[in-house]
Amino acid sequence: MFNYQLFVANSLIPNAGNGVFTQELIDSKKVVVFPNERNTLLTKDEFKDFPTDQAQLQSAIRWFDETYTIDPEWSLECNFNHSFNPNCLWYLGFIISLRTIQPGEELLIDYRYLLEEDYTLEFCDSLTGEEIKGFSWREKMRRGAIVIAELFSEEEAYQS
């Protein structure tokens, strides 16, 4: 599910195909995408039996500790591209803006948060040439929590 008007167009990242862009201003610290109920849950064994010729295997799989989710459709979310310097954070199925994002700007996430531990993509980061390899579950949680804490540390103290 999307909180903003987004569209798919040719990515600005070399060799990346399509990307997701915003039609409107997105302020920092906003949920851009939140999980939907269409996803199917798979165990690790079920995931191993998933047909390898499915496009979803490369684009619609998300890893959560011992569970995988798969979007049964090729959704707009499958067009988010990778960056080691993203403007959004993928964290537990939510995509959160890390800074203000201008209309027409491409939305980028770090794929290492999506991939299974030590799973290396067949392609490298097109800007750095570095391999893209999934973090461990613990590392995803640790790094994501640090990013979220730092992002919101600038906020005024919560007042009830």
Q: Does residue 103 fall inside a structural domain?
A: yes
Please count the other Cβ atoms lying within 10 Å of the Cβ belonging to residue 37: 5
* Token representation of residue 23: 């039609």
Q: Would you state the pLDDT for residue 77? A: 75
* Token representation of residue 117: 């531990």
Taking a C-beta distance cutoff of 8 angstroms, is the pair 110, 85 a contact? no
Q: Does residue 66 fall inside a structural domain?
A: yes
Q: Does residue 10 fall inside a structural domain?
A: yes
CATH of the domain at 41: 2.170.270.10
Q: What is the pLDDT of residues 6-27, one digit of tens each?
A: 999 999 998 888 999 999 999 9
Alpha-carbon span 107 to 116, nearest angstrom: 22
Q: Does residue 160 fall inside a structural domain?
A: no
Q: Which residues contact 48 (CB under 8 A, 6 or more apart)?
A: none
Alpha-carbon span 84 to 132, nearest angstrom: 9
Residue 19 CA to chain centroid, in angstroms?
A: 12
Q: What is the pTM of this model?
A: 0.76
Alpha-carbon span 133 to 42, nearest angstrom: 21
End-to-end, the C-alpha distance of the chain in Å comes to 29
Inform me whether the pLDDT recorded for 29 exceeds 50: yes
Confidence of residue 3 (pLDDT cuts 50, 70, 90): confident
Q: Would you state the pLDDT for residue 99? A: 96
Q: Does residue 75 fall inside a structural domain?
A: yes
Q: How many domains does the chain have?
A: 1
Q: What is the pLDDT of residues 39-73, one digit of tens each?
A: 555 556 665 666 655 555 554 455 545 555 555 55
* Token representation of residue 21: 């862009």
Q: Strand pairing partners for 21?
A: 7, 106
Alpha-carbon span 156 to 134, nearest angstrom: 34
Burial class from Cβ neighbours inside 10 Å (0-12, 13-18, 19+) for residue 87 reads buried
Domain span holding position 98: 6-152
Q: Does residue 157 fall inside a structural domain?
A: no
